Amino acid sequence: MGISVVSTLYTMPAIIPTAARAMRIFMCEGYLVLGTWYSVSCQSSVWETTDDRSPNTAVGCRRSPDSLTAMAEVSTVRSRVFAITAWSTLVFNVLVILGGTIVRATGSGDGCGETWPKCGDQFIPPNATVETLIEFSHRVSSFLAGLGVALVVVLALWFFKKGNIIRKAAVISGVFLVLEALLGAALVIFGWVDADISAGRLVVVPLHLINTFLLLGSLAVTAWWGSGFPQPSGQVDRSTRRLLILGSVVILILGVSGALNALADTVFPSESVVGDLSEKFGPTAPLLSKLRVIHPVVAIAGGLFVGWIATTLSRNAGDRSKKLSGAVILIIFSQFFIGIANIYLLTPLSMQVIHLMVADVLWIAYVFLWASLMGERNPSQVLHESLT
């Protein structure tokens, strides 16, 4: 036994550095597996050894090629996970918004009564009617969409450094999600559903639409930048910024007028295209009904203006921005024909859903165009070169 103790003591100088090195490698690789974003400071020590395998001299700390490869692989996996989550959340939120159109068009907004978040007296309604099932399904899908946005926010805070623009965009998405839930709850609790045309509903419906677009926009840029597309370079001149903002405001105005127009079509359904014009726009017609004449005019003028902005700003831009500009213009003209068909067919549910879906796609495409222009190397030159 004494010989064993002596042998153990004799070999300790060789065992301790080896064990310490193994522990430090384990800690470094463990940090990589956990996926933290900061630089690992416990870099592995590389020891030179003599012919008899005894430790000789520590030549300094450096990260091994295997550790660098592992870090790159973890970073790639995190990027893919975040991108897939962000894009999926964006698409699912669009579907939820289309579900809201079905709720309004079918008059199912009061399917759960004036209660929220419960549906009646319970969270899961028994013996539900069709209207109740439609409203309840929309609430469930909205909750799932909220979980998706919350997951995007958590992943952004976990994967990206403080101050990163992806982090900021994700957090802003979370704020708009909360506002979206509050506005939706207000419509239900105050009874601003079904055939109600009170002043409260005429105010909240446009606010709801604007907040919805801002939510989609923030989710869109979160997915865009989270997928590795160039982030804003910070070299945008005032004229370019002004045109981009103006185009965004015009699209929001088109959305607001479209939301009020859709509400009027639901509350005052038409039986023919021109047969009841006096009832729609006559002196005794309700104000909401009279507003329907505004939307087609505003939509055509505003759409052409947004198309001009997209063309002007992308004329000397990169290939990606040019493609996005072409997509925006194509969507605008497609929306013109869809709007005409919607009026001619007396606004059936299917056409209302398609009309809103294309409007959402137009807004998202314009946001992508904005982000693409902002990410180019010299975006401040775009407007100047386009106008000279």
pLDDT band at 363 (very low <50, low <70, confident <90, very high): very high
pLDDT score of 125: 81
Instruction: Please write the tens of the pLDDT for every residue from 126-163.
Output: 777 888 899 889 899 999 999 999 999 999 999 999 99
pLDDT score of 376: 79
Alpha carbons 289 and 281: distance in angstroms, whole number: 7
**Residue 280: both structure tokens together:** 């729609």
Q: What angle do CA 124, 128, 134 make, to 5 degrees?
A: 85
Is 180's pLDDT higher than 80?
yes
For 77-89, what is the mean pLDDT? Answer: 92
H helix and E strand count, the chain: 12, 2
Q: What does the H/E/C string look like for 141-154? A: HHHHHHHHHHHHHH
Mean pLDDT lowest for which of 2-16, 29-43, 310-324? 29-43
- When comparing pLDDT for 138 and 222, which is higher? 222
Instruction: Please write the tens of the pLDDT for every residue from 266-299.
Output: 888 877 766 565 566 666 677 788 788 889 999 9
Burial 198-231 (b: 16+ CB within 10 A, else e): eeebbebbbebbbbbbbbbbbbbbbbbbbeeebb
Alpha carbons 80 and 135: distance in angstroms, whole number: 34
Is 183's pLDDT higher than 50?
yes
pLDDT score of 211: 97
The answer to whether the beta carbons of residues 317 and 386 sit under 8 Å apart is no
Prediction pTM value: 0.78
| Residue ranges per structural domain of the chain | 2-63, 78-159+169-224, 230-388
pLDDT score of 129: 85
Question: Of 7-16, 93-102, 282-291, where does the model show the most confidence?
Answer: 93-102
For 190-284, where are the alpha helices, taking DSSP H only? Answer: 199-226, 238-267, 277-281
Instruction: Please write the tens of the pLDDT for every residue from 21-50.
Output: 444 443 443 333 333 333 333 333 333 333
CB atoms within 10 A of CB 53: 9
For 116-124, what is the mean pLDDT? Answer: 79
**Residue 105: both structure tokens together:** 């068009």
Instruction: Write the CA distances from 65 to 55, 72, 243, integer angstroms.
Output: 22, 11, 49
CB atoms within 10 A of CB 274: 7
Work out the percent of the chain whose per-residue pLDDT is above 70. 74
Instruction: Please write the tens of the pLDDT for every residue from 232-248.
Output: 877 667 888 899 999 99
pLDDT band at 335 (very low <50, low <70, confident <90, very high): very high
pLDDT score of 388: 41
pLDDT band at 94 (very low <50, low <70, confident <90, very high): very high
Is 2's pLDDT higher than 70?
no
Q: Is the peptide bond before 117 cis (omega within 30 degrees of 0)?
A: yes
Amino acid at 48: E
Alpha carbons 157 and 78: distance in angstroms, whole number: 12
Alpha carbons 41 and 283: distance in angstroms, whole number: 77
pLDDT score of 25: 40
pLDDT score of 247: 96
Is 311's pLDDT higher than 80?
yes
